[in-house]
Chain A
């Protein structure tokens, strides 16, 4: 009893392992939690105590979210940060969620308080949302539910069994169909991939439609940092603001990408740099981070040749920003803006067309954007109707993610899973941006 009390007391002082789930407008705010010493964001439900959902999520994510919740060990709780009006149906699925409408500090306080209440017994552990069994029917054809083709065609409780199919070496091996996402930790929020695996190799894959296009919401919540690019579609905006937002966005990507490659501490350093972009230490800080990433050459070795676009693939990269420029294409909407040209903007391009080139490209563009922001002063962009977002050409109705998603099957098929993840990470697919662009076009069409 004494030991248990001591353990409980000690446990209540540990950083809270939280499982973050980003909804509309909250991606970057959730990333910031990695810097907070009180919390320890984790990748999988088994390691978490508190599910932190943030912003609005599409209703179709209800079951995957419930699965995450039910996969957390007791004692557990749900905290929903800035849910907005449309999160109601999802929120109601949980027995006693804590809702926080406020700042990151308020969220952190709430999470710490919730965990303390869990340990002191003042709050019951969150009950399961889904039934224990039968979340999907057995779809076999035999009298005992077995088999669809041969002995292995069934889908027992939603988990498909292996089937046999030819592999890339001409052998017939087991393949497993699987949907990865929408909360796979290394994928961009919302990305779902229907893939077939043969061992470690992706045999085929198909990205599902962008869930953020049809999300019901009364207002368009735009992620801080992304809003300046959407404003630039309608009015001239300060170039310094655009370029600082671009540098910040690339650093947030860098933080995620470093974590995906096993360097979470350097990822935290990249996140810390996003707070220092307007100071004089920004460029040296970014250069030091670049050196810390590149000095060993291991990352370059791990990404060289991975997710490479062939000559035919490169022709489809128009408007894909850093991905296109990393493939050697002179593709940048800023070239059409006279103010940028007057500022001495020069295109940076690489020649690799692979994940390594895309890393180099973004690291170089962070420094370039900081220099442009410094030179720009109060000057504003001239071109409206289109803007070069951190991921490529953004217009009302079209964003880089909607151009990249159709390229995924050709790029990923035949890759080992680790390389497939590294490829997706390197592309910086932002479904939220694409969803907003499409909804903007719909709103404009409705208005006319």
Chain B
């Protein structure tokens, strides 16, 4: 472990980033939804409705089902939030401004993404409800298919850095961002990133055709926590995309941290807009595409990146 922010500072800092990130996702989602739906953008509503809705959920009863796995049900959103926080902790705001900078930061981030499957499965399993369990199994197929291309897309960013440290990956982009060096990388990363955070077109486990899937029985605080955890994971995916492909803190005039935030916001807008403009994909079709197209493309991306570096 290389020097980073002290733990007593890093933990609350990451917590604050998660909370702000979740709120920003809620605001952006509402704004984009209004725009796509042809409505009038009322900023006051867009800015405060998420807060009011959160208060509504907090004051609502947390209902239960018959014979649920209660510890699992409570643990699932906590696990997903913790994974999102862990992934965000790897994102540097500057060469020395990072909550945690292990030499294997890439591996830690990838492990956090891999464990999302456990959180979603637990969330679907624990209410003892048919459509919730159905959603859990769906995500099993989805996550198994996307994790390899996700890892490969990210792995290519470690080649120019010759390091698994996220800080080193950003340092290596000083002269040329990875989005230019590896043009296939960012699109691949975003496609599988939407899948990893089960958002928009890849929201198969919590889909409308399952009446909400793993979240069908959630009410009150449980619903708020699960929605927040999903948003936090989306923020983590966007922040790592900005770091791994868009040069992280590199940029003219503004401080590095501002560049990271701006780039993350741009990717968040892209990901959230995709959720309102791309229909949900079919599980079977996505699995075929993931194995037959995304993995070969991700491998090609690695081979080409390696050849260029040689």
Query: Which A residues are closer than 8 A to B by beta carbons?
Result: 4, 6-8, 10-11, 13-15, 17, 35, 37, 40, 43-44, 46-47, 49, 71-75, 119, 157, 176, 178, 184-186, 199-200, 258-269, 272-273, 292-293, 296, 298-299, 301-302, 306, 416-419, 421-422
Contacts and interface: CB of A to CB of B under 8 A. Distances in A.
A262 B62 contact: no
Interface string B202-214: 0110011111100
B59 A11 contact: yes
B285 A302 contact: yes
Contacts of A417: 134, 209-210
Interface string B197-224: 0001101100111111000111110010
Given A73-B220, A119-B59, A418-B283, A10 B208 contact: no
Given A10-B51, A11-B56, A14-B52, A263 B276 contact: yes
B285 A15 contact: no
Nearest to B36: A265
Contacts of B63: 46, 71, 73
Given A269-B37, A272-B38, A417-B210, A73 B279 contact: no
Chain B, interface size category, equals 35 or more
B93 to A, nearest CB: 31
Contacts of A259: 208
B2 interface: no
Contacts of B278: 296, 298
B211 A44 contact: yes
B138 interface: yes
A11 B60 CA distance: 9
B282 to A, nearest CB: 5
B201 A262 contact: yes
Contact of A185 (B45, B60, B208, B277): B208
A290 B217 CA distance: 34
Given A416-B284, A418-B207, A47 B219 contact: yes
Listed from nearest, the 3 A-B pairs whose CB atoms lie closest are A262-B280, A10-B55, A14-B52
Contacts of A261: 208, 279-280
Contacts of A199: 137
B53 interface: yes
A184 B208 CA distance: 10
B145 to A, nearest CB: 15
A260 B211 contact: no
A71 B56 CA distance: 17
Interface in B46-82: 48-49, 51-53, 55-56, 58-63, 66
B281 interface: yes
A7 B55 contact: yes
Contacts of B203: 262
A46 B227 CA distance: 14
Which of B42, B59, B223 has the most chain A CB atoms closer than 10 A to its own CB? B59
Contact of A46 (B200, B216, B275, B276): B216
Interface in B27-46: 32-34, 36-39, 42, 45
Given A272-B37, A417-B209, A417-B210, A8 B52 contact: no
B130 interface: yes
Contacts of B217: 46
Nearest to A257: B279
Contact of A269 (B38, B45, B223): B38
Contacts of B39: 35, 37, 268, 272
Contacts of A301: 281-282, 285
Contacts of A10: 51-52, 55-56
B60 A44 contact: no
Nearest to A15: B49
B277 A292 contact: yes
A260 B208 contact: yes
A46 B49 contact: no
Interface of B: 32-34, 36-39, 42, 45, 48-49, 51-53, 55-56, 58-63, 66, 130, 134, 137-138, 200-201, 203-204, 207-212, 216-220, 223, 275-285
Contacts of B130: 176, 178
B62 A73 contact: yes
A14 B51 CA distance: 8
A298 B201 contact: yes
A3 to B, nearest CB: 10
Nearest to A9: B55
B290 to A, nearest CB: 14
Given A262-B203, A272-B37, A419 B282 contact: yes
Contacts of B201: 262, 298
B58 A269 contact: no
Given A11-B59, A15-B53, A298-B278, A262 B212 contact: no
8 contacts: A11-B56, A44-B212, A178-B130, A200-B138, A262-B275, A269-B37, A296-B279, A419-B282
A47 B45 contact: no
Contacts of B42: 37
Nearest to A269: B38
Contact of B208 (A14, A17, A43, A119): A43
B55 to A, nearest CB: 4
B61 A268 contact: no
A49 B53 CA distance: 12
Contact of B211 (A43, A176, A263, A302): A43
Contacts of B277: 263, 266, 292, 296
A64 to B, nearest CB: 14
A11 B57 CA distance: 8
- Kindly name the residue among A47, A119, A272 whose own CB sees the greatest number of chain B CB atoms within 10 A: A47
Contacts of A266: 36-37, 276-277
Contacts of A267: 37
Given A292-B36, A418-B210, 20 more contacts: A14-B49, A35-B39, A37-B45, A43-B211, A46-B216, A49-B60, A186-B208, A186-B211, A199-B137, A265-B33, A265-B34, A266-B37, A266-B276, A269-B38, A298-B281, A302-B279, A416-B284, A417-B210, A418-B282, A422-B209
